[in-house]
Structure 1
Amino acid sequence: MKRTLLTLSLLCTILFSCSKKNENNPSASLELNGRSYPTVKIGSQTWTTMNYDGPGGIASPRNDEYDYGKYYSEKEMLAIKLPDGWRVPSKEDFVKLMKSQGELTIDVPEVTATDADGAKVLKAASSWYLPGDNSSGFNILPGGYYQSFSKEFLEYKGMAYFWTTTSGPALSIDPNYYYCFRVSGRYSSPGTGSEPETGAEVRDMTTGDNVIWYNIRFVKDN
């Protein structure tokens, strides 16, 4: 009887340990410019789980407990030097990330999107107006973006924006457009203003003339 209980106890311990090990699929950190960035394995990719906070950029003015990293111009984004294997994500990298978390709801040249459930697992469980559960470990915080001509930070707590290196969308008349990865979690204004707006998408809404400054994440293939 004691041996049976010992065996069951050992089995439960092993199963619990494996479950904890696979939770969010943690992996080694990325060391860059004297700073350590935690990473997580999601599907066939490894992603940093903090926004880049290296040389250049504009620091977030948010005076709270969350680390939003810095906001970078297009030129700064393209000039970042990374260790072998790592890269600033392309449009296809973010599409692969979304596919790994659920079905796509839109997939056309201008925008590829997933639904609220696909976004929920990518968003942090706090700070958002409409928070996620961060079950993927990606840990997106709603830092919004910086607009250089008005010198203001916009969409704080409601949206998150990240650079991609993919430019020139098929239907754009401006060859300097870049795709960005945008995640929403807010209440939209139409009608009563209380309608939930939440989702994740890659879309061609970024001008490449240093007007808009976004956050940056890094990715590599497993």
Structure 2
Amino acid sequence: MKGQFIAFMIGLLCVSWACSEENNHLPIIEPEDHGVFTDSEGREFPWVRYGNLEWMTTNLNIELPKEDEWTNTGCEISREEDRNPIDQELEIKQNYETFGCLYTYEAATSAIPEGWRIPTDEDWQSLEKSMGMSNRELNLTGWRGTNVGTLLQQEEGTMINLRTGGMGEYDGYGYFTPYFIYVYGFYWTATPEKEGSNLNYCRQISYKSDKIARTTVDRSKMLYVRCVRDVNNETNK
């Protein structure tokens, strides 16, 4: 039994060492500039600059008004199902602060603050290249870019701070259903798969992968949004 315990502890130390080694080999990448944008209603959104773009470092969290309790706005806050009302209300509050809001593509276009926009597929590729992704991988679909997913989840360092808040959709009865919370994070791009398509490119991160996926999703699904704006030193505040 003692020998088994010692072997177990050695295994734990090896895992910890491997994780430490992996983190130590990550490149140090920091933004060229950073600041805080304040909208017309006094809401503050921190941003960082990479190349010719400024990226918000939090997921968009502007809720859209409902006409009545039965009308879906295309904007929801992720939560786990089958919880008592008190626990779910607390979870919704916490997830709003951590993950922001999930949006259908149409709803996202209505929630963007003035002067900002949903990033295109090319905008994401520019950011990924800043994280060290090779030109060969940029246009691939699926998981690509060793360490890029990890770097984009850094709260410090790159300061991009992508979150694994899952995704969601409305079912056939109009009820909101969340998926993959704490496991994956899905982010919109403004780029359709092809002209006339109802699919847009998106980005997917995972808590257990150091890569980032480039894939497509129907615009009716609900994903997170990272707003971007083009650099303009005279007007950006």
Tell me, yes or no, whether TM beats 0.5.
yes
Q: 1:139 aligns with which of 158, 161, 177?
A: 161
Offset from partner CA, 1:149-189 (integer Å, 9 cap, x none):
2732211222111111111338xxx8111111111222xxx
What residue number does 2:3 align with? none
Identity percentage of aligned residues: 19
Offset from partner CA, 1:78-107 (integer Å, 9 cap, x none):
3335323x2111111101100111123634
* TM-score, normalising length: structure 2: 0.64
What residue number does 1:54 align with? 62
Q: How many residue pairs were aligned?
A: 175
Gapped regions of structure 2 (runs ≥ 5): 1-28, 65-74, 81-90, 232-237
Q: 1:151 aligns with which of 169, 176, 184?
A: 176
CA contact (8 A) 1:106 1:113 kept: no
- Answering whether residue 109 of structure 2 is matched by residue 78 of structure 1, we say yes
Higher strand share: 1
User: Which aligned runs of 4 or more in structure 1 are off by greater than 3 angstroms?
Assistant: 22-26
- 3-state SS in 2 of match to 1:121: helix
What residue number does 1:12 align with? none
Post-superposition offset of 1:27: 2.2
CA distance in 2, matches of 1:181, 1:95: 10
Post-superposition offset of 1:61: 2.7
- Structure 1 residues 200 and 79 mapped into 2: Cα distance closer, same or farther (>3 Å)? same
- Answering whether residue 218 of structure 2 is matched by residue 207 of structure 1, we say yes
CA distance in 1, matches of 2:229, 2:189: 14
CA contact (8 A) 1:40 1:47 kept: yes
Q: CA-atom RMSD, angstroms?
A: 2.7
- 3-state SS in 1 of match to 2:60: coil
CA contact (8 A) 2:143 2:213 kept: yes
Higher helix share: 2
Amino acid in the other structure paired with 1:115? G
CA distance in 2, matches of 1:203, 1:94: 12
* TM-score, normalising length: structure 1: 0.68
